[in-house]
Amino acid sequence: MGEAIVSRLITAQAYSADQILVSDPQPERREFLQKTYGVQTTNNNLTAAQALEVVLLAIKPQIFPALVQELRTGLLQYSPAKPYPVLLSILAGVSLSKLTAAFPHHPIIRVMPNTPATVGAAMTALAPNQNVSPQHLALAKTIFQAVGEVVELPESLMDAVTGLSGSGPAYVALMVEALSDGGVAAGLPRAIASQLALQTVLGTATLLQETKIHPAELKDRVTSPGGTTIAGVAELERGGFRAAVINAVLAAYGRSQELGKS
């Protein structure tokens, strides 16, 4: 996800490559990022954090305590005359309270993007702490608008965001796969079935986004009396399709809550 964000920031010209410094412990990874994107690299997290006005924390949550010990000696000794950098955290399950306890003076924004960030089509939710100013929030929105759409929400809703847009790409991928399998079962070649399924989902999402009509209205427009579509919709209802999707979101939401307490 960190690489996806870097890539899209450069592509969208939100930042130039020479304005981005990436810290990574693996020499081969640093070399790859430098050659691929032209960014500066370092193996010193503290050097990176002190050099920037924005610090993106894109690490595995389990190594967060070690990172705190590494960074806090430098980040907490800033002169009051020098603004603290904005910390943007995409760490799953690490709450604003934990982040703020580690860096009490910093403006911190908890961020939940999703995997379509790699193609600039992410849905990202932002939850700021009490130290975040409107200017900080505007800066964060500029960064994540480079990878897709952005909404601001209270942190209490971040687990729900995880259940819906965070895990949602997997649900959609399953639906595309199932549509394709259905096409194959009906006699279509696999490649054609996959193309039809993918474009149908993409086109429908684009239509809903651009026209702003309610999904139920679009469904009603497609279903003619006694036709093929209503027969298919009836079968989905018999299979509990909508309930299954709702329950998937709720299950992921519940699991996100559990992980946040661990």
Q: What is the mean pLDDT of residues 76-98?
A: 78
- Distances from the Cα of 174 to the Cαs of 26, 73, 167, 181, 245, in angstroms? 34, 46, 12, 10, 11
- The strands making up 108-112's β-sheet, listed across from edge to edge, are 54-57, 86-89, 108-112, 122-128, 148-152
Reported as a single tens digit per residue, the pLDDT across 158-212 is 999 999 999 999 999 999 999 999 999 999 999 999 999 999 999 999 999 999 9
Lookup: tokens for 258: 């559990």
Q: So what's the pLDDT on residue 153?
A: 95
Q: What is the pLDDT of residue 157?
A: 95
* pLDDT score at 222: 95
Q: Which domains does the chain have, with CATH numbers?
A: 2-155 (3.40.50.720), 168-261 (1.10.3730.10)
φ, ψ at 84 (rounded to 5°): -70, 145
pTM equals 0.86
Give percent of the chain above pLDDT 70.
94
**Do residues 5 and 143 lie in contact, with contact meaning Cβ atoms separated by under 8 Å?**
yes
Q: Residue 147 in contact with residue 120, Cβ under 8 Å?
A: yes
Helical residues (DSSP H) of 103-227, grouped into ranges? 134-145, 158-161, 168-185, 190-211, 215-222
Residue 156 pLDDT > 60: yes
Average pLDDT across the chain, whole number? 91
DSSP H/E element including 253: helix 241-261
* Tokens describing residue 175: 């639906």
Q: Is 243's pLDDT higher than 70?
A: yes
User: What's the pLDDT tens digit per position in 70-86?
Assistant: 877 666 555 555 677 89
Helix (H, G, I), strand (E, B) or coil at 110: strand
Query: What residues are paired with 40 via a beta bridge?
Result: 21
Specify the pairing of strand 148-152 against strand 54-57: unpaired
User: pLDDT-based confidence at 15, cuts 50/70/90?
Assistant: confident
Q: Residue 47 and residue 252: Cα distance in Å, rounded?
A: 37
Distance of alpha carbon 140 from alpha carbon 219, whole angstroms:
36
Residues 139 and 154: beta-carbon distance below 8 Å: no
Question: Does the structure show a pLDDT above 70 at 218?
Answer: yes
